[in-house]
């Protein structure tokens, strides 16, 4: 190779002696290039190709630990099959003929007629009885498939619809608590509850989206914050139950999913807040002051509720929240005085969410206390019965023979 290059330059010099100077320049440039290459060979670390790894390397490294565990994979597969069947079932009930189309139009009326009939034949008793049913109970499908949808039909505005969906989400968590305190929460029930909760949360998201389109962002934000607070409160409550070691494995599943829904809700709320602050037409001062007085009223009501607890010990989580609420309330006042309405609004919303969280935690505490009281009552009843049985079994010694006793 070197020979060829040398002969090339020699030939060039012969062919064009007048261009010798120019050719010398080319020769030098060529030699420089060769020297650089030799240097790079000697010090490979300085070579770009060696140092810069192929793109694939970066992607491989980034994706190395992204994988589904076999259990997770199996769980997803099971959920897929359940969802398939659910969708197949709902598709089957879709319109396939004119008659069915007509029937579908009449469906709300059919339901109404069903209700009237149910009232006439004493179905209300069934509806009331189903209200206290839990997943796995015979009447539970009546509650979630018939009674609750009927109750939801009276929610005509998007605001009341979203409130109803938040209420239903709350109800499902209360059912979970009831099952956990009874020690009867099964995996299948966790799945069923989660599926209902996710459905309610999705419906609430949709209703809130419509509120934003119709009534404006302020109203939508309130509902979004409410939904987030409900999820936040229940996530906290599930953690409390989990710490007590009650069916912790099943609770973890419920808790993880709740935290995920809470985060989703939080992101949407944050994004809505950004939109609100960017909207120049919004009178932030007015809103912040108005919301501030609502928080104030809610805190007053909460204090009254706490006074009614008659010195009952609070959960540490509840106490922590109460301290934070007070801080939020102080911050809101400071921000309003300083004219920082954005900060006032944000802290106010945080305060309100914490009030909701405390309310959920107080509900949980109540539920746990009444369950313990019921347990004690059962234990006492059992004890009394045992005493009675023992008395019956004891031989009655006739009076006249008592003197024979030592």
Residue ranges that bind other proteins, judged by CB under 8 A = 48, 51-53, 55-56, 58-63, 66-68, 70-74, 76-85, 87-88, 260, 263, 267-268, 270-271
Q: Which of residues 51 and 399 has its CB atom nearest to other proteins in the complex?
A: 51
110 contact partners, CB below 8 Å, separation of at least 6 = 103
Query: Measured from the CB of residue 315, what is the shortest distance to other proteins in angstroms?
Result: 23
Query: Measured from the CB of residue 300, what is the shortest distance to other proteins in angstroms?
Result: 32
For the range 42-50, what are the long-range contacts, defined as Cβ-Cβ under 8 Å and sequence gap of 24 or more? none
| Neighbour tally for 349: CB within 10 Å | 24
Burial 174-209 (b: 16+ CB within 10 A, else e): bbbbbbbbeeebeeebbbbbbebbeebbebbbebbe
269 contact partners, CB below 8 Å, separation of at least 6 = 221, 224, 225, 228
The CA-atom distances, in angstroms, between 214 and each of 116, 160, 165, 209 are: 34, 14, 19, 9
Q: Which of residues 18 and 278 has its CB atom nearest to other proteins in the complex?
A: 278
Asked whether 321 and 379 are in contact (CB, 8 A), the reply is no
Query: Measured from the CB of residue 179, what is the shortest distance to other proteins in angstroms?
Result: 22
Q: Which of residues 67 and 390 has its CB atom nearest to other proteins in the complex?
A: 67
Query: Measured from the CB of residue 27, what is the shortest distance to other proteins in angstroms?
Result: 32
Q: Which of residues 56 and 390 has its CB atom nearest to other proteins in the complex?
A: 56
Q: What span, in angstroms and rounded, lies between the C-alpha atoms of 154 and 161?
A: 9
DSSP string, 57-91: HHHHHHHTT----HHHHHHHHHHHHHHHHHHHHHH
Q: Which of residues 236 and 365 has its CB atom nearest to other proteins in the complex?
A: 236
Query: Measured from the CB of residue 275, what is the shortest distance to other proteins in angstroms?
Result: 8
Q: Which of residues 41 and 49 has its CB atom nearest to other proteins in the complex?
A: 49
Query: Measured from the CB of residue 42, what is the shortest distance to other proteins in angstroms?
Result: 19
């Amino acid at each position: 190779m070197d020979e060829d290059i040398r002969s090339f330059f020699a030939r060039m010099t012969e062919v064009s002696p007048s261009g010798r100077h120019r050719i010398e320049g080319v020769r030098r440039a060529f030699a420089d290039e060769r020297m650089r290459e030799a240097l790079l060979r000697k010090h490979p670390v300085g070579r770009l190709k060696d140092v810069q790894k192929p793109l694939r390397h970066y992607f491989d490294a980034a994706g190395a630990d992204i994988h589904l565990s076999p259990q997770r994979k199996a769980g997803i597969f099971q959920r897929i099959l359940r969802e398939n069947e659910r969708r197949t079932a709902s598709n089957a009930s879709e319109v396939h003929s004119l008659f069915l189309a007509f029937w579908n139009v009449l469906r709300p009326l059919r339901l109404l007629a069903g209700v009237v009939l149910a009232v006439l034949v004493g179905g209300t008793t069934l509806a009331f009885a189903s209200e206290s049913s839990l997943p796995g109970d015979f009447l539970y499908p009546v509650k979630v498939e018939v009674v609750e949808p009927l109750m939801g039909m009276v929610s005509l505005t998007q605001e009341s619809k979203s409130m109803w969906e938040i209420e239903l989400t709350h109800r499902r968590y209360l059912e979970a608590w009831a099952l956990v305190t009874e020690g009867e929460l099964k995996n299948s029930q966790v799945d069923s509850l989660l599926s209902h909760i996710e459905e309610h949360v999705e419906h609430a998201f949709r209703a809130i989206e419509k509120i934003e389109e119709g009534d404006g962002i302020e109203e939508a934000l309130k509902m979004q914050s409410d939904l987030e607070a409900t999820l936040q409160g229940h996530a906290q409550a599930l953690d409390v139950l989990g710490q007590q070691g009650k069916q912790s494995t099943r609770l973890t599943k419920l808790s993880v999913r709740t935290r995920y829904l809470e985060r989703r809700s939080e992101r949407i709320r944050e994004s809505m807040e950004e939109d609100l602050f960017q909207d120049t037409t919004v009178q932030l001062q007015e809103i912040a002051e108005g919301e501030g007085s609502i928080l104030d009223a809610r805190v007053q009501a909460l204090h009254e509720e706490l006074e009614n607890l008659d010195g009952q010990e609070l959960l540490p989580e509840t106490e922590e929240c109460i301290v934070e609420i007070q801080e939020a309330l102080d911050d809101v006042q400071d921000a309003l005085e300083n004219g920082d309405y954005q900060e006032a609004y944000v802290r106010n919303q945080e305060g309100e969410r914490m009030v909701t969280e405390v309310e959920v935690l107080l509900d949980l505490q109540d539920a746990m206390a009444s369950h313990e009281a019921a347990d004690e009552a059962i234990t006492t009843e059992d004890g009394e019965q045992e005493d009675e049985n023992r008395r019956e079994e004891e031989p009655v010694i006739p009076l006249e023979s008592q003197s024979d006793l030592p």
